[in-house]
Amino acid sequence: MNSRTQVGIVGAGPAGLLLSHLLHRAGIDSVVLESRSRDDVEGTIRAGVLEQGTVDLLKATGVGERLQQEGFRHEGIYLRFDGEDHRIDFPALTNGKAVTVYAQHEVIKDLVKARIDSGSDIRFQVSSVTVHDVQSEQPSIRYRDESGTSHEISCDFVAGCDGTQGVCRPSIPAGVLTAYEKIYPFGWFGILCEAPPSSDELIYALHDRGFALVSTRSPTVQRMYCQVGPADRVDNWSDEVDPADRADNWSDDRIWEEFRLRLATADGWVPKEGRIFHKVIVGMRSFVTEPMQFGRLFLAGDAAHVVPPTGAKGLNLAVADVRLLGEALIEQYRTGRNETLDAYSATALKRIWKAQRFSWWMTSMLHRFPGGDAFQYRVQLAELEYVTGSTVAAAALAENYVGLPFQ
């Protein structure tokens, strides 16, 4: 079965859905193809921290209503080391900016609802997606629907928003892209639990036993992470690993004991415990592919780059990419001029590399490295002392955490 659209979008994550939304607002038609079901897409637990610019964009484009009601504005974070908290005050250091804690799957629900309410075309549970003729003026995407029927969509442009495991990036011929990658020798063990918040703001902790992070989701659900590995590593290190085969290593008692140890303070702080109902191990890597374009195929979000989660940047980078790509496509349709679209990759990569630097730096400062010696650990503590003791150093952290300006 053949059909046509202006922009064919592969992937209904934050990148693909938001791009479709931005294009729709400018009267540009798109089709979003997603391999998973709507329930799966809306139920996957991932990020939680939205930069100021991400929040402003979602609000300004009419998908920020629930975010405004249910999200939590956080005006700082605590860096905890040597058993003491040091607060980074975002508004004071960034001219009034802050972040909002609102789960990624809630953003996804808001975007899917907006797309469906406006009658747009999202096709879930598709398979065998392939992209064709992206170097011509008339690219196409082929796929099978849930019943196995083959389809072909011809379009003007293809947006590869299909994450780390997608098909768009691998469809680009060998030799076109350059990949830059760094794999960290540890991961994060993440939990969700039923408990009241342990802290009014996120706590990023460095302890002799490794990193720990206290985050939140709601007054009754909390999100916490701790550094694991390399013993807990799996050989096939993907970005999200089901920890079921290592559940024995991580009983609930062991998880709480580890959090209590790593988060201990001189005045006896302990996390509020509750039933753990979700566990995940997340791999840690930095990855960038250049350029983010091949002919009329444009990559955005995790399909083009991955950050370790310590800087809370992945979702926000996906948003920044499609904001730029959306504007460039809109300009192309309105004026017929390609300059902004041709500059998409170079423009996006400038900000992406800065977010990569920040994520790598936060990761390096806050984790114990296997084989890392006492000297390295003392330098990390000195860096934390410096960052929390110097207004300019604290401002550099704050400015990056709340999000650098869009281009």
Which positions are annotated as active-site residues? Answer: 74, 204, 309, 313, 401
Closer by beta carbon to ligand DHB, 366 or else 395 = 366
Burial 17-50 (b: 16+ CB within 10 A, else e): bbbbbbbbeeebebbbbbbbebeebbeeebbbbb
**Interaction between residue 162 and ligand FAD (CB under 6 A):** yes
Closer by beta carbon to ligand FAD, 206 or else 304 = 304
The whole-angstrom distance between residue 224's C-alpha and the CA centroid of its chain comes to: 16
In the complex, minimum distance from the CB of residue 223 to ligand DHB, in angstroms, rounded to a whole number:
4
Among 21, 46, 262, 323, binds ligand FAD (CB under 6 A): 46
The backbone torsions φ and ψ at residue 2, rounded to the nearest 5 degrees and listed phi first, read -110, 140
The backbone torsions φ and ψ at residue 305, rounded to the nearest 5 degrees and listed phi first, read -160, 150
315's contact among ligand FAD, ligand DHB, none, with CB below 5 to 8 A by partner kind, is ligand FAD
Roughly what angle, to the nearest 10 degrees, separates helices 14-25 and 314-335?
30
Window 43-82: residues binding ligand DHB (CB under 6 A) = 47-49
**Interaction between residue 403 and ligand FAD (CB under 6 A):** no
99-101 and 72-74 strand pairing: antiparallel
Asked if residues 13 and 47 have their Cβ atoms less than 8 Å apart, the reply is no
**What are 74's two structure tokens?**
């956080």
**Interaction between residue 8 and ligand FAD (CB under 6 A):** no
Residues pairing with 274 in the sheet:
none
Closer by beta carbon to ligand DHB, 213 or else 319 = 213
**Interaction between residue 282 and ligand FAD (CB under 6 A):** yes
Q: What is the DSSP string of 373-404?
A: -HHHHHHHHHHHHHHHH-HHHHHHHHHHHH-P
**Interaction between residue 223 and ligand DHB (CB under 6 A):** yes
Among 8, 11, 210, 308, binds ligand FAD (CB under 6 A): 11
302's contact among ligand DHB, ligand FAD, none, with CB below 5 to 8 A by partner kind, is ligand FAD
**Interaction between residue 367 and ligand DHB (CB under 6 A):** no
223's contact among ligand FAD, ligand DHB, none, with CB below 5 to 8 A by partner kind, is ligand DHB
Q: What is the DSSP string of 192-245?
A: EEES--S-SS-EEEEETTEEEEEEESSSSEEEEEEEE-STT--SS--SEE-GGG
**Interaction between residue 286 and ligand FAD (CB under 6 A):** no
How many residues does the structure list for the chain?
407
**Interaction between residue 309 and ligand DHB (CB under 6 A):** yes
276's contact among ligand FAD, ligand DHB, none, with CB below 5 to 8 A by partner kind, is none
CA dihedral 282, 286, 291, 297 (to 10 degrees): 0
Give me the residue whose beta carbon is nearest to ligand DHB.
48
**Interaction between residue 232 and ligand FAD (CB under 6 A):** no
**Interaction between residue 271 and ligand DHB (CB under 6 A):** no
Closer by beta carbon to ligand DHB, 24 or else 217 = 217
In the complex, minimum distance from the CB of residue 119 to ligand DHB, in angstroms, rounded to a whole number:
33
Window 76-115: residues binding ligand FAD (CB under 6 A) = 104
**Interaction between residue 53 and ligand FAD (CB under 6 A):** no
Query: How far apart, in Å, are the Cα atoms of 40 and each of 12, 55, 108?
Result: 11, 24, 11
**Interaction between residue 41 and ligand FAD (CB under 6 A):** yes
CA atoms within 13 A on the CB side of 22: 24
**Interaction between residue 199 and ligand DHB (CB under 6 A):** no
49-50 and 305-306 strand pairing: unpaired
* Rounded distance between C-alpha atoms, residue 137 and residue 115, angstroms: 27
Burial 355-373 (b: 16+ CB within 10 A, else e): bbebbbbbbbbbbbbeeee
* Rounded distance between C-alpha atoms, residue 377 and residue 167, angstroms: 41
310's contact among ligand DHB, ligand FAD, none, with CB below 5 to 8 A by partner kind, is ligand DHB
10's contact among ligand DHB, ligand FAD, none, with CB below 5 to 8 A by partner kind, is ligand FAD
Among 33, 88, 195, 312, binds ligand DHB (CB under 6 A): 312
**Interaction between residue 47 and ligand FAD (CB under 6 A):** yes
Q: Which residues bind ligand DHB (CB under 6 A)?
A: 47-49, 202, 213, 215, 223, 309-310, 312
Q: Which residues bind ligand FAD (CB under 6 A)?
A: 10-16, 33-36, 41, 46-49, 104, 126, 129, 161-163, 165-167, 190, 240, 282, 301-302, 309, 312-316, 318
